[in-house]
Homo-oligomer: A and B are copies of this chain.
Amino acid sequence: MKAKELMDKDFVYLNADDSVIDASKAMEDVRRFTCPVVNDKKQLIGWITAFDITKGLREGKEKISEVMSSCEEVASVHEDDPARKAVILTANNKFVTVPVVNDDNQVIGMVRACDIVELLSNLYDIKVVKLYKAMQNQLNGVTWEELMAASALVSKKTTGKKISPEEYEANIMDSTFGEAIWATGGLEKFFAGLISVGEMVIARRVGRAKK
């Protein structure tokens, strides 16, 4: 995924000679705490946060050029950069927004922390049952009942608590991938548990074939 696929195009940009008052109104209207400042070629030349605006209003500053940060202080990503670069910038610097530029340094969008949250949280919200369905699909010929029976056995082995295949099924219908990795103690452990289920299903099938 590229930065341009994640960016919000519904942003406002400011010009250096815009008035601080007009800029404050524009930012309130679109509800954006940060804005790029661009020249007449739409190239990034500066950055404005709501803090620059409140300070400017208090101190009676007139023009955006008097209150903006310079271009050099702004971290941006290129439209073809991996989206991950914007995610890492946001996480490490506690940014609210990262501007996205093209080859000509024109601002073409903004990656917002809330959009990243939406994207990343989608993964966490995938139902665990979908992973079991993918596993059943992969393990040709294994029935859902066999899979649940093996899962209940592995679960008992891991947690020490007895659980029926039906109870196990009810659990995974409700729970999400995010809950599951938190509950099992991390991605690797969650994943190892699933491999363990796969292994047991195969072993039981091989066992039956021998009889």
Contacts and interface: CB of A to CB of B under 8 A. Distances in A.
- Copies of this chain held together in the complex: 2
A194 to B, nearest CB: 7
Nearest to A142: B199
Contact of A120 (B120, B134, B196): B120
Interface stretch (A69-77, A82-90, A101-109): A82-90
B191 A131 contact: yes
A172 interface: no
A118 to B, nearest CB: 4
Contact of A192 (B95, B116, B138): B138
A117 B176 CA distance: 18
A202 B142 CA distance: 15
B130 A188 contact: yes
Interface string A180-193: 01100001110110
A94 B120 contact: no
Contact of A87 (B53, B95, B121, B126): B121
A68 to B, nearest CB: 15
A126 B84 contact: no
Interface in A161-193: 176-179, 181-182, 187-189, 191-192
Nearest 7 pairs of A and B residues by beta carbon: A50-B50, A113-B113, A91-B118, A120-B120, A134-B188, A24-B54, A94-B114
23 contacts: A21-B58, A24-B54, A28-B51, A31-B51, A50-B54, A53-B54, A82-B179, A84-B179, A88-B121, A90-B117, A91-B118, A91-B121, A113-B117, A117-B120, A130-B188, A131-B187, A131-B188, A134-B189, A134-B191, A134-B192, A135-B192, A191-B191, A198-B198
